[in-house]
Amino acid sequence: MKNQEKFYIKTNKMKNETITAKANQSKRTFTIRKYIDGKLFAKYRTFEMSDDDFYAEEMNTENDWKAFLKSDYYYAV
């Protein structure tokens, strides 16, 4: 009998991913929540920001927050 190789195919089902961000005005931080298929997947908090940075980030869209999560300016909660 010949050696048979097993091949595993990973299927990547489409998942509905959403990101929300809530501002804490007094601490100048944001709490970012990432949901997959409506269930909380991860929660992050930004480090304290300067006034200018904080007010600029308040205008972020969901795509902006996705890009922000590629930085090192937050930590997992």
The predicted-structure confidence for 4-32, as pLDDT tens digits, reads as follows 555 544 555 668 999 999 999 999 999 99
CA atoms within 13 A on the CB side of 37: 3
Q: What is the mean pLDDT of residues 21-47?
A: 96
Q: Please state the pTM of the whole predicted model.
A: 0.79
Rounded CA gap, 8 and 17, in Å?
Answer: 25
- The structural domains of the chain, with segments of one domain joined by +, span 17-76
19 close to 62: Cβ distance less than 8 angstroms: yes
In the chain, % of residues over pLDDT 90: 81
